[in-house]
Structure 1
Amino acid sequence: MARHKPAAEGGYQRGEETRARIIDAALRLFGEHGFDGASTRDIAREAGVNAPALQYYFDNKEGVYLACIDHFVEVAWGQLDEVVSAAEAVIARPDATDAALVDSYLQLQARFATFLYECPDTDHWRQFMARERAGLGPPAAFERIDAGINRRLFVLTTAIIGRLTGRPATDETTRIRTIALDSQIAAFKVMRRHVVKALNWEGFGESETERIAKVLQDQTRTLLWGLVAQRDAASSQI
């Protein structure tokens, strides 16, 4: 596991600044050249440090890559933690109404859309995450993201969809529905170039993100209440 130490000279603050500079350089080079194509020597040169300094902080190239993932996870929870905690409080109530559950899901979706816009939105961040989603990073990276973000969110959203459909959160159909609903916002980010061209936009910024989020919120609300109606219709026939 990569170490997290202050520099030998200059104290903790200088050490943190050096570490952050290495991570930023690594994100650019991993984004441009991939995990295999970016060398520790190139990362050190880009960050303006020597190779031993990189090894001092991160041990090896995989340690640097995982530090990039950890940085992404930290940024994500800075945006998501409040709304996720609020939704978890709702799902913990056995008497939570369908309206409260629907509203909680919509708030999660809206905050996730905001996060995708406000998270580091440079070319190298997009390239880095695109390569990671394609499975081109070291195997430990997926586990780091899955444990850091995905598991908690998926437990929450499957619980909401399960309650709205009257099926267990662990049910395969519940999970498929949840994945389909959860991935709507991210799909627009991943398909950025296609979206810009298909919609004849000049770019993909805050205004465009807000318009997408508004349409998806309306669509998701309709879908969720449709699932509730389907659940209630099935119950009335028993």
Structure 2
Amino acid sequence: MTETKRPRRSTEGGYARGEETRLRIIQAAIELFGEHGFLAASTRDIAAKAGVNAPALQYYFENKEGVYRACAEHLADEAWKKFEPVVRNTAQTLESTDDVSVLIEAFVDLQGVMMDKAFETSKAPTLKLFFVREQGGQEPPIATEIIQQRVRRPMNSVATKLIGKICGMPPDDPLTIMRLVSLHGQFMLFHTAPRSILLLFGWASLDAEKIEFVKQTVFSNTRALLRMWAAQPPAAPAPSKPTPSAPPARKRTARVSAKR
């Protein structure tokens, strides 16, 4: 895919108008990519939804791949604005203390920002669909590559380091990663399968009071689990790939007997 083109404006006012137009195209594209997918969303439809002519889209992005890349970059930048402060604070906490209680609270803070972002995205259906399609593996991989590099990797890195330090395990141990998945899984269904979860609770929707209930329950569970894991002896390393074993001795004996 080609690099996203930037507006070629010579004056300050023109540059501002160019950036505004570019953002309008990106926002329209996110909606259409979310609703229809990359293949079905046409550049003509994106331009029409953004209120620009088709050549304007080519002027800013060259082609549909360039628009899709720009959408991923925009979403990654917006997410990182929320996550960067807590990631930076978490990294400082990891360097400055071995106190398990402090480390647990740092993880809870990290989890809280993730939950806020997840619930925020759930209120924007087309934005949510963009991520669902991106994670489903049917869209161009560039979006996953960009979001992984700029957002998910640094978030997961500090999270696994926290769990590893709390539990006395390497951050890249499969059990450490599995524990991270388990802790985040407490709230991800509210994001990925909201209808089923709401029916389970008997709720019509997730208002601010219900979201706060979910968050505080998840925080309580997370603290309890991390304290329990911290009190356990370090787990044994994950088993390596088994080597082929020799045939059982009984069968060898039987074959020898048969020859006799």
- TM-score by structure 1 length? 0.90
Partners of 2:23 and 2:104 in 1: how far apart? 39
> Contact 1:3 / 1:57 at 8 angstroms: preserved in 2?
yes
Residue 91 (str. 1) matches residue 90 (str. 2): no
2:42 corresponds, among 36, 39, 45, to 39
| Secondary structure of residue in 1 paired with 2:37 | helix
Partners of 1:232 and 1:23 in 2: how far apart? 48
Q: Which has the higher helix share?
A: 1
Partners of 1:80 and 1:205 in 2: how far apart? 23
> Contact 1:22 / 1:44 at 8 angstroms: preserved in 2?
yes
Match of 1:51 in 2: 54
Partners of 2:81 and 2:170 in 1: how far apart? 30
1:224 positional shift: 0.3
Higher-Rg structure is: 2
String of CA shifts for 1:201-233, please: whole Å, max 9, x gaps: 111233322211111111111100000111389
Q: Which runs of 5+ in 2 are unaligned?
A: 237-260
| Secondary structure of residue in 2 paired with 1:36 | coil
1:179 corresponds, among 152, 168, 181, to 181
Q: Number of matched residues?
A: 233
> Contact 1:2 / 1:63 at 8 angstroms: preserved in 2?
yes
> Contact 2:121 / 2:127 at 8 angstroms: preserved in 1?
no
Percent identity of paired positions between Structure 1 and Structure 2 = 38
Partners of 1:15 and 1:159 in 2: how far apart? 42
For 2:101, the aligned partner's letter is A
> Contact 1:113 / 1:185 at 8 angstroms: preserved in 2?
yes
Residue 28 (str. 1) matches residue 17 (str. 2): no
1:8 positional shift: 7.4
Q: Which runs of 5+ in 1 are unaligned?
A: none
Residue 224 (str. 1) matches residue 226 (str. 2): yes
Match of 2:21 in 1: 18
Partners of 2:120 and 2:159 in 1: how far apart? 22
> Contact 1:90 / 1:104 at 8 angstroms: preserved in 2?
yes
1:74 corresponds, among 31, 56, 77, to 77
Residue 136 (str. 1) matches residue 145 (str. 2): no
What are the equivalent positions in structure 2 for 1:204-215 lying under 5 Å apart? 204-215=206-217
Indicate the larger mover: 132-141 or 113-122. Answer: 113-122
> Contact 1:6 / 1:16 at 8 angstroms: preserved in 2?
no
Partners of 1:60 and 1:7 in 2: how far apart? 20
> Contact 2:189 / 2:197 at 8 angstroms: preserved in 1?
no
Partners of 2:143 and 2:171 in 1: how far apart? 26
Partners of 2:71 and 2:202 in 1: how far apart? 33
Indicate the larger mover: 169-178 or 8-17. Answer: 8-17
> Contact 2:118 / 2:191 at 8 angstroms: preserved in 1?
yes
Match of 1:2 in 2: 4
In angstroms, what is the RMSD of aligned CA positions? Answer: 2.1
Partners of 1:159 and 1:207 in 2: how far apart? 32
For 1:204, the aligned partner's letter is L
| Secondary structure of residue in 1 paired with 2:165 | helix
String of CA shifts for 1:85-144, please: whole Å, max 9, x gaps: 111101113x42001110100011112112223458322112212111212220111111
- TM-score by structure 2 length? 0.83
String of CA shifts for 1:167-224, please: whole Å, max 9, x gaps: 1112121122122223433332111111111111111233322211111111111100
| Secondary structure of residue in 1 paired with 2:232 | helix
Match of 1:196 in 2: 198
